Chain A
């Protein structure tokens, strides 16, 4: 039975790490416990649950500092009072993974969890300004800061972002914020096949209308968002945000351009918020099953080619975010890891992460994309510099 350590301070976390190192007893880091970050069954757990609370919030400077275990909900509530938000739209995977737990800000950065705006506003790592962490040697380290521009030394904050509990225990994060847009709308282009949708999205992104979300929901998926209220046929959706007058002008311009691709309709701000939340959280595949789900990241124009190639060989269903660069790929039966990764490579590269599958499939499939040998070796050398005793799980 594994022990759960939930220290009340950085110093206490450091002591736990030091005694675990002394005992040769490896640890697994846990944020909100919404998913397993690395396969590390049987380890004692080091949890950030008690390192909670907003340390500093400067609305006028659009920055916040919070302890890593602060629930995302608490942060969202504080931001809402000042009409601010996280630029990168962190996603909540609990519905699709069928897990519980409470998403934390530390977990968000540790997984670099980024939603629809990622392809124009950056990932979580782009909003992260500074971190505090305890490394595997029990040292409390500060990296980065709380200002927007900072090139003072190595950017260890970026290294920690997305490191999935493999390098160190995050204790505090400082990040930048954006104002909540005054208004939003979604242009819906109906009836396009995947290839036509890719062309339509590329056209939209070439226009000066500042599209902040570009997704394509094939017919099989269309009915599973917005309570089935989207018009019949596949839906290619394009989000606009900003000052109300500006959104109206841009919506008109974009609608006119998209009319040459298919039938165009417009969603208001309320429907827009719901739609993009559902797209972000992979709601279409939150079907209570454990059918294999891949998160695939490729060049935006490649997404639909990958799915078309896979369809010829196996049963898949898919939809696209990030202009086609993020593919949520649900397999009919087996994960087919080798097949998926072979086609990704053939189409110019990218990577696939198995997010969900039966316990048996998860245990036998390489969940993370295998890395090139030189990069894996380098990653291991870096890990040794943060976690010399190998207390935390390796993850590549």
Chain B
């Protein structure tokens, strides 16, 4: 199986390992540097577990000043730096390399300020996504982007990948909910981008940094938007006899001008996996399931659901099941959000993240099935249908190298299909190492060169998360 490559470790860095560790120890308080080989192992990969590299050291700073000191040092000696939040990246965004210092933000996990009048929270980068909503929930607010890993993943990682989630159909992804960051540039300079004001002067550097996968600087604090929690929310299950009908129904709901908070799709294998895990009451005898969530007052929800059910009936919906209680609603979401974890219990899998124009959903579902069949594999589809963000989970046996190779090849073919119908390689997981070598399928050489040139304006030596996002060949000389 052809492995995804990493940049070769710099001999000059590896040979100075002891010195570097000693220098970093001077820059950080006690207990903030990991360098014993045994203790480095937990940092060797993230949720893209097929690839592992043990880093040179792991710095766990407690303050922005310490982040700046570490960066300034690494910049001076051209030592690669790989930022890490909770290590939940599905694309290998946090996988280190042998000559890299991992900069982990886990100790910077405080919520610094909650300001309801301005509907903002200022948080450190290591705060988990869910912790923000938990902190403001009792007062009637929440933070909207909700990746499935929200219990573990950090806001810093969310900013790195511009993470989405099930409820982004209505509220947007991270970049639409981010007002400002404190950013440490590669040379250790600290800058503030944005803030509580709704727009910032000059170039939209905040928009550029969000989703840059830790390649433009290290975010240590973020100002995020809070939203008043809706009066009520109600998920409804729709069961269909075919994936195509379900896909067409999604397109029609959107086309009718109705924007629910979420429209999630599961095919039969995904339904079985999630139901076995969560016991959410998903119908077992349908080929495809939609979870459509609406919110508002009881009357508003009734109103909206009436229109949606009417559209679903036109597409031959066979099962319509409204959640009857908060507990049941929570179960429905638990089933959906544990889809990746539950799948991991029955097989190894890789999760694709291509996004396609809505009208292409049925076509791409069909194409995915063909690709999977041709490679003799199995697939479970579970994804954010409302915005065309697909997540085929390709099941394989990691102990069988041939199986693994076919899974990777099938994944690549599916992503190319997504691009070919007008979509993109990744909607919310990021490029990381996983999709790096497919970038030329989506972008022409000049397009990529322009992105790389802008990247180099921030990090001329290419030391920030250097093996990620851009193909290793054809990079500008440092």
Contact = CB atoms under 8 A, between A and B. Distances in A.
Contacts of B201: 351, 353, 368-369, 371, 396
Interface string B156-186: 0000011010001000110110000000010
A145 B168 CA distance: 18
A206 B255 CA distance: 30
Contacts of B427: 147-151
Nearest to B423: A147
Nearest to A348: B196
B259 interface: yes
Given A154-B451, A378-B205, A148 B388 contact: yes
A242 B204 CA distance: 31
A122 B176 contact: yes
A385 B442 CA distance: 21
B11 interface: no
A361 to B, nearest CB: 19
A372 B259 CA distance: 40
A208 interface: yes
A328 B1 CA distance: 62
Contact of A205 (B119, B303, B359, B470): B119
B428 A151 contact: yes
A378 B457 contact: yes
A112 interface: yes
Interface in A325-374: 325-326, 348-351, 353, 368-369, 371-372, 374
B200 interface: yes
Contacts of A126: 172, 175-176
Interface string B82-106: 0000000000000000000000000
A141 B300 contact: no
B263 to A, nearest CB: 12
A379 B229 contact: no
Interface stretch (A19-27, A54-62, A186-194, A280-288): A54-62
A383 to B, nearest CB: 8
A110 to B, nearest CB: 12
Nearest to A62: B254
Interface stretch (B20-28, B327-335, B350-358, B394-402): B350-358
A245 B297 CA distance: 11
Nearest to A206: B228
Contacts of B164: 149
Contact of B303 (A59, A166, A245, A379): A245
B203 A382 contact: yes
Interface residues of A, number: 86
B195 A60 contact: no
Contacts of B356: 147
A30 interface: no
Interface in A193-240: 198, 202, 205-208
Contact of A149 (B231, B257, B296, B388): B388
B444 interface: yes
Categorize the interface residue count of chain B. 35 or more
Contacts of A4: none
Contacts of B119: 205-206, 300
B477 to A, nearest CB: 14
A213 B338 CA distance: 37
A141 B447 contact: yes
A61 B358 contact: yes
Contacts of B255: 59-62
Contacts of B359: 58, 60-61
B425 interface: yes
Contacts of B117: 198, 202, 300-301
A60 B427 CA distance: 20
B451 A153 contact: yes
Contact of A152 (B259, B387, B442): B442
A34 interface: no
A382 B458 CA distance: 8
Interface string B436-466: 0001001110111011011111100000000
A152 B435 contact: yes
B424 interface: yes
A118 B198 contact: yes
A11 to B, nearest CB: 13
Contacts of A301: 117-118
B355 A150 contact: yes
5 contacts: A149-B384, A178-B259, A205-B228, A242-B300, A297-B200
Given A122-B172, A162-B204, A208-B229, 17 more contacts: A61-B251, A61-B357, A147-B357, A147-B423, A149-B384, A149-B427, A154-B211, A154-B454, A155-B162, A155-B208, A166-B203, A167-B203, A206-B141, A208-B296, A300-B119, A300-B196, A382-B205
